[in-house]
Amino acid sequence: MRLENKEKFITKSLESCKYLGSEVIYYDRTDSTMEDARKLIEQQAADGSVIIAEQQTAGKGRYNRKWYSPLGGIYLSLILFREIEMQKQGLLSLTAGVASCETIKKYLPEAEIKWPNDVLFKEKKISGILIEKLGNYYSIGTGINTNTEKFEGEFLLQPTSIYLETEKEIDNNNFIINFLKKFDENYDLLANHEYNAILEKWKSMSLTIGRKVKLRNPMIKGEREIDIINIDNNGFLIAETEKGIEKIISGEIFY
């Protein structure tokens, strides 16, 4: 069911945004906002549309995993229409991570980003981002554990929530508005080719550079230990590995 009052409230609060808020769809429950976004894109969705749900029955994570989506958390997808050069597409993923971490830091100042865009607090996962591309449409799905009280099931990386870490319930609608405004601000940097500004912000919040980490590529079995030295201008990791200096363009890192 669509919650019209919330749609109106969020639309009004996004009036100052340059990119987001052309359409706001707010569900009490859906299967996955990524599926809703895909359906809207197939009908030529308006650039800047936002789909929000209070819970998801089939939340999707990266690498076909499930995303635990009970009441209490935030689940949303943003639809953007833009031609982004192939090698700069990774920067969209970092931009989303920066927006998410900047917002979470207001509640948990020690929040950090794990490449490319997971937000962790004390090495536990608070938020994850999934990006899907359909032609020149991007759908940016973000799940944030705000007021989640408990986590059931198995998780690759131990999750936590802002509520569990602070013992304070937060206002999800305020969080959503803050996040969308932060995203809009950072996406403006990307749209204006200010790539260094995004990379500098990302580096200042990152847990990854200068660490020895385990790299897993879920598509290929196995794990290897690598030393992360830096991130390049396109958002790929530069690592020292058994093969020498390597560029890491995909995979997941663990500490």
Bridge pairing between strands 112-114 and 212-217: unpaired
Q: Measured from the CB atom, is 164 or 229 closer to ligand BTN?
A: 164
Q: Measured from the CB atom, is 118 or 184 closer to ligand BTN?
A: 118
CB of 240 to ligand BTN, least distance (A): 26
Residue 116 touches ligand BTN, criterion: CB under 6 A: no
Site for ligand BTN in 39-58 (CB under 6 A): 56
Residue 130 touches ligand BTN, criterion: CB under 6 A: yes
Residue 116, preceding bond cis, omega within 30 degrees?
A: yes
Q: Measured from the CB atom, is 3 or 229 closer to ligand BTN?
A: 3
Residue 65 touches ligand BTN, criterion: CB under 6 A: yes
Residue 138 touches ligand BTN, criterion: CB under 6 A: no
Choose, by CB under 6 A, the member of 142, 146, 147, 161 that binds ligand BTN.
Answer: 142
How many amino acids of this chain bind ligand BTN (CB under 6 A)? 20
Residue 186 token pair: 């950072």
Q: Measured from the CB atom, is 223 or 227 closer to ligand BTN?
A: 223
Choices 32-40, 99-107, 190-198, 199-207; region in contact with ligand BTN by CB under 6 A: 32-40
Residue 77 touches ligand BTN, criterion: CB under 6 A: yes
Q: What does the alpha-carbon distance between residue 22 and residue 37 come to, in Å, rounded to a whole number?
A: 14
Q: Measured from the CB atom, is 41 or 229 closer to ligand BTN?
A: 41
Residue 34 touches ligand BTN, criterion: CB under 6 A: yes
Give residues in contact with ligand BTN (CB under 6 A).
32-34, 56, 59-62, 65, 67, 75-77, 118, 128-130, 141-143
